[in-house]
Amino acid sequence: MNHENTDGKSTDTDKTDVLINTTVSDYDTEGLAIKEEGLREGKIFPGLDADYPLRDPSEDPRWAVRTVKIWMWITIFCIVGILVLMILGIWYD
Amino acid sequence: MSHLEIPGISAKWVIGFFGLFHISVAAMAIGMAFIVAVLEIYAYRNKIRRYDLFAKRTQLFHVCIYNIGTINAIGLVFALSGLYPQFWSQIFVHFFWPLIIEEFLFFLLATTLTFHYFFWEHLWGHKKLHITLGVLLIPLFFLQMYIINGLGGFMLTPGFKEGEVSLFKGILGYDFKAMYNPSFLMLQLHRALANISYAGFCLAGWCGIRLYLTDDAKKRDYYEDCGRIAYYIAFAFFLSIPIIGYFYSHVMMKEASQAFWDLMLGRGDILVLGIDTWWLKHFLVAAMLGSSLVYFHRIDKTNVPFSLPKVMVWSIALFYLMFYMAMGMVMTWLFFWLMFIAAIISALISLFLLHSNKNSARALFILLGVISFLTVMLGGYAREASRPRFVDRVSAYDNIYVPEERSPYLMVPVKPGDIPIVKQETTKEAQLIHDRCVDCHTLDVIRDYKDDDWDEVIKTMINYGTELTEDEAKLITEYLKAGKPF
């Protein structure tokens, strides 16, 4: 989804776009090889002319999303806790 | 009591090295967290991939320096514990709870930063979640800086006068009055803005280096573009720093006069190899102003995003001309003229650099990166070098920190009421010296004075504004001549 082109000049870089916009899994050795070859040949410098690669939320690895969500809430909770302590510190010094 | 010593370097410079290294890295890390968040949000809102890429590469750099910085900080803690044990244990007892929170923040930061960088490619379907995680780094870093500035400010302006030890009555290990000391707010503002500005200039400098290393037209466009954004953010935050600096020095004049006069007159450790580090820093600040105005004046022609309209550039120039004139009036006109000349010279150099690189800002980016690095180093150094030393490895801002009074805290649990107030037998003259001579410098200045011409000294001090009646002046002069203790 969301592959609309913002600068409208990518017809001849279609292959490159595909390479950039696909997240190659760490275990997909073939994909990695293609991507690396592209990088080495200097054909792609990821992102220079590429689309902004938003994708469907379901395409994200679930473990990653969960980890980050949990961690984010822990962090927010801790920040709020610290702020409360610091405000209490005005009276209880 | 004897102390550990580092052969050849001396304990003082070991701490100085760790401290400067720490400033150079930590300040950049804080600024980068902010800039990465801005870039990522900007890229997301405008759906521009290259800015997201720049954000990610910046964050990689940030991960690296964050690790180096924290390890260096541990080195600083080790060095202080061994080399200045009394000072260090006192400050740890004094600020125990804030420092525990500080440590906890280190943990939160390291984890959040790591997640943010390494999950970048995993979360393209949850970009907002990823951005939020990055934005959380800002309050985390800010809180961390907020706390450590309480200690930093305390070492400069302890918040109570000589002999007036704050025997806190509340929570042991947290002293409100010491934490929120007189220079706390100014240090906070000055550092918060300087960190972001410094990181921005350094990023632009990095883009400048990359511009030299590539011939690819697209890449050059990319680095020129990203360098400009970093520069723009840096300059925006840079602009208010001199104003805050003015108020900062005003606070110092009142609350840390010795440090203030050391800075103004270039005394003591402010001079390194005969160079006045504080004035040098100000040359560089004026130079950054001159270069930046030329840069933004130039790029307005091409009408690119993140540029300043010409009228804005001229307004800033005019404003700072007036600011430096005001500084000339309150300090010395020499300051105004030297800064003016520094700005003009650097503006000319920048014009030349832009011209000779066919309007590419690569050389200018690198120059500004280097200058901002030097500014941060010199400013950080001058700040610490100006205040009275922790003499004899015992933390002593003269008598503010009286070790005898503190030491019970280090050994046994005591109620504040149980702490004996050390009563010294004082003569009338000594009391007079304690009352009248500490408004502008510490008593150490008087104790360390080797000559015998006390008549002259007292006259000079009265000319400086010391309140003394003739009788009192006579009493003190005789007393000091006799070499009696005070």
Q: What ipTM does the predicted assembly reach?
A: 0.73
Has residue B440 been placed in a domain?
A: no
Distances (CA, A) of B358 to B304, B308, B350, B361, B364: 17, 20, 12, 9, 12
Find the range with the poorest average confidence among B359-363, B401-405, B476-480. B401-405
Q: If pLDDT is split at 50, 70 and 90, which confidence band does A4 have?
A: very low
Instruction: Tell me which residue has tokens 């090889």.
Output: A33
Task: Report the C-alpha gap between B459 and B101 in whole angstroms.
Answer: 50
Distance from CA of B292 to the nearest CA of A (A): 27
Has residue B191 been placed in a domain?
A: no
Residue B137, Cβ neighbours under 10 Å: how many? 25
Task: Report the C-alpha gap between B37 and B313 in whole angstroms.
Answer: 26
Has residue B224 been placed in a domain?
A: no
H helix and E strand count, chain A: 3, 0
Cβ-proximal residues to B306 (8 Å cutoff; 6+ apart), any chain: B228, B229, B232
The number of distinct structural domains making up chain B is 1
Nearest to B52 among A47, A56, A64 (CB): A47
> pLDDT: is B171 or A2 the higher one?
B171
Which residues of chain B make contact with A4, given a CB cutoff of 8 A?
47
Distance from CA of B4 to the nearest CA of A (A): 35
Task: Report the C-alpha gap between B396 and B125 in whole angstroms.
Answer: 57
Amino acid at B365: F
CB B378 within 8 A of CB B385: no
Which residues of chain A make contact with B115, given a CB cutoff of 8 A?
67-68, 71
Which residues of chain A make contact with B50, given a CB cutoff of 8 A?
47-48
Task: Report the C-alpha gap between B431 and B415 in whole angstroms.
Answer: 29
The per-residue b/e assignment along B245-270, b for 16 or more CB within 10 angstroms, e otherwise, is beebbebbeebbbbbbbbbbebebbb
Chains A, B: CB pairs < 8 Å: 112
Contact A59 B112 (CB under 8 A): no
CB B60 within 8 A of CB B117: yes
- The residue among B305, B46, B40, B131 whose CA lies nearest residue A4 is B46
Which residues of chain B make contact with A83, given a CB cutoff of 8 A?
143
Cβ-proximal residues to B471 (8 Å cutoff; 6+ apart), any chain: none
> pLDDT: is B321 or B255 the higher one?
B321
Q: Which residue of B has its CA nearest to A53?
A: B124
Nearest to A59 among B111, B125, B139 (CB): B125
Has residue B160 been placed in a domain?
A: yes
Distance from CA of A80 to the nearest CA of B (A): 10
Instruction: Tell me which residue has tokens 């030329």.
Output: B294
Report, as an integer, the average pLDDT of A34-39: 54
- The residue among B28, B53, B27, B25 whose CA lies nearest residue B229 is B53
Which residues of chain A make contact with B132, given a CB cutoff of 8 A?
72
Task: Report the C-alpha gap between B255 and B156 in whole angstroms.
Answer: 9
> pLDDT: is B429 or B376 the higher one?
B376
**Which of A7, A22, A75, A87 to mutate to test binding with chain B, by most B CBs within 10 Å of its CB?**
A75
Distance from CA of B136 to the nearest CA of A (A): 8
Contact A92 B170 (CB under 8 A): yes
Distances (CA, A) of B249 to A79, B246, B309, B398: 32, 5, 32, 21
Contact A47 B53 (CB under 8 A): yes
Let me know if B376 is exposed, middle or buried by CB neighbors in 10 A (0-12, 13-18, 19+): buried
Q: Mean pLDDT of all residues in chain B? A: 85
Task: Report the C-alpha gap between A40 and A44 in whole angstroms.
Answer: 8
List, for residues B89-126, the tens digit of each pLDDT value.
778 877 889 999 999 999 999 999 999 999 999 999 99
**Which of B51, B122, B224 to mutate to test binding with chain A, by most A CBs within 10 Å of its CB?**
B122
Contact A58 B52 (CB under 8 A): no
Has residue B113 been placed in a domain?
A: yes
Which domain covers residue B101, as residue numbers?
A: 1-181+394-416
Radius of gyration of chain A (CA): 21
Which residues of chain B make contact with A71, given a CB cutoff of 8 A?
111-112, 115, 133
Which residues of chain B make contact with A82, given a CB cutoff of 8 A?
101, 104-105, 143
- The answer on pLDDT for B213 being more than 90 is yes
The per-residue b/e assignment along B157-171, b for 16 or more CB within 10 angstroms, e otherwise, is bbbeebeebbebeee
**Which of A16, A71, A86 to mutate to test binding with chain B, by most B CBs within 10 Å of its CB?**
A71
Task: Report the C-alpha gap between B38 and B115 in whole angstroms.
Answer: 18
Find the range with the poorest average confidence among A7-11, B315-319, B338-342, B372-376. A7-11
**% residues pLDDT > 70 (chain B):** 88
List, for residues B420-472, the tens digit of each pLDDT value.
555 556 788 888 888 888 777 778 788 888 888 899 999 988 888 888 888 99
- The answer on pLDDT for A21 being more than 50 is no
- The answer on pLDDT for B64 being more than 90 is yes
Task: Report the C-alpha gap between B294 and B327 in whole angstroms.
Answer: 23
